[in-house]
Each structure stands twice: as C-alpha cells, then as structure tokens.
C-alpha cells in the first residue's frame, strides 16, 4: 500500500503577511502585470499593513514561489473605518487556480476583523476578470471615475458592505 507523506498532503498554497524579503518578488510581479506599475518604494510604505499579504505556492518538489499578492489598508472616514483594496495580482502562470480569490478573501477578513464596515476598490472598466471576482465577493459598482488611469481609461469604483 502507498501512503501520502503528511508534508505532501499539506502542500497547498498559503497566504501569509508579506515580509521585506518578499518585496523584490512582489515588485517583479507588479512590473510584469501592470502597464503603470507601482514603484518599489510604494510597496515598502505598506510593509506593516496587515492587509499586505502574499500567496506562496508549493511545487511537487517542495519549492515555494510567491505567486501573487494583495495590498489593502484601512482609513478612518467620518467615524467609520473604510477598507481599501489597492493592489491585487497573481503571476500569469499561476492564474485560474483560485489564488486571486484566496488573496481577496484573506484581505477582506483582515480588514473586517480590524473594523472595516465597508471596503472599496478601483478597477479598470475593461478588466472583466477582476470585476467578476469582485462581484462574487459582494462588491457593487458605485460610480465611474473618467480618465482615472494614466492612459485615460475609466475606473469603476466598487464597494462591498461588511457581510
């Protein structure tokens, strides 16, 4: 009879708070994904935010890769704390495996555990994949900001009330 070693059975993707040593990987993913990537220093500024998390994927050989990240924070707003998902990306070769969903779920749980009564985000009007993901998590389109992105594309502002 063959048995699966316990360490192999546990080797799913893991979401954890970012560490300084992850920042170069995060920055490289950002550069490969977005036409106007954040500068490295922007990620450094959010290092201590509990809503800045990475997902690590483990290969069959046991190698770990930072496969994606989410950056979210909390801002006081007229007596209620509002979460903001500022950045979310998964390496192209790791997409479609549920990692974006996993990152978003962890970020929302972290924001809401710290008191967020609502969470907002901006998304490119053409980004159907991200919009579907956000709608699935209770985000609704609140307004459109014309020309929000540097290339002139509109942003949809989406908001989720705590559930």
Report the interface residues with ligand COA, using CB under 6 A: 33, 88-90, 95-101, 123, 127-130, 132-133, 136
- Torsions phi, psi for 46 (to 5 deg): -95, 5
- Residue 108 pairs in a beta bridge with none
Task: State the minimum distance, in angstroms, from the CB of residue 3 to ligand COA.
Answer: 30
The Cα 162–Cα 51 span in angstroms is 16
Look at the alpha carbons of 149, 108, 102, 29 in this order and tell me if their dihedral is positive or negative.
positive
DSSP line for 100-145: HHHHHHHHHHHHHHTT-SEEEEEEETT-HHHHHHHHHTT-EEEEEE
CB distance 130 to 123 below 8 Å? yes
The Cα 53–Cα 72 span in angstroms is 9
Of 128 and 161, the one with the shorter C-beta distance to ligand COA is 128
Of 23 and 57, the one with the shorter C-beta distance to ligand COA is 57
Of 15 and 99, the one with the shorter C-beta distance to ligand COA is 99
Q: Give me 55's structure tokens.
A: 């997902």
Of 4 and 143, the one with the shorter C-beta distance to ligand COA is 143
């Amino acid at each position: 009879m063959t048995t699966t070693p316990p360490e192999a059975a546990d080797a799913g993707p893991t979401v954890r708070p970012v560490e300084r040593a992850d920042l170069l990987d995060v920055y490289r993913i950002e550069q490969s994904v977005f036409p106007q990537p954040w500068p490295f220093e922007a990620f450094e500024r959010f290092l201590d935010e509990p809503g800045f998390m990475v997902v690590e994927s483990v290969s069959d050989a046991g190698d770990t890769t930072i496969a994606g990240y989410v950056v979210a924070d909390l801002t006081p707003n007229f007596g209620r704390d509002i979460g903001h998902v500022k950045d979310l990306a998964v390496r192209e070769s790791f997409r479609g495996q549920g990692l974006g969903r996993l990152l978003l779920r962890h970020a929302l749980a972290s924001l809401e555990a710290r008191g967020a009564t609502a969470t907002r985000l901006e998304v490119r009007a053409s980004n159907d994949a991200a919009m579907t993901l956000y709608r699935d998590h209770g985000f609704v389109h609140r307004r459109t900001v014309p020309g929000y992105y540097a290339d002139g594309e509109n942003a949809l502002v989406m908001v989720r009330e705590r559930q």
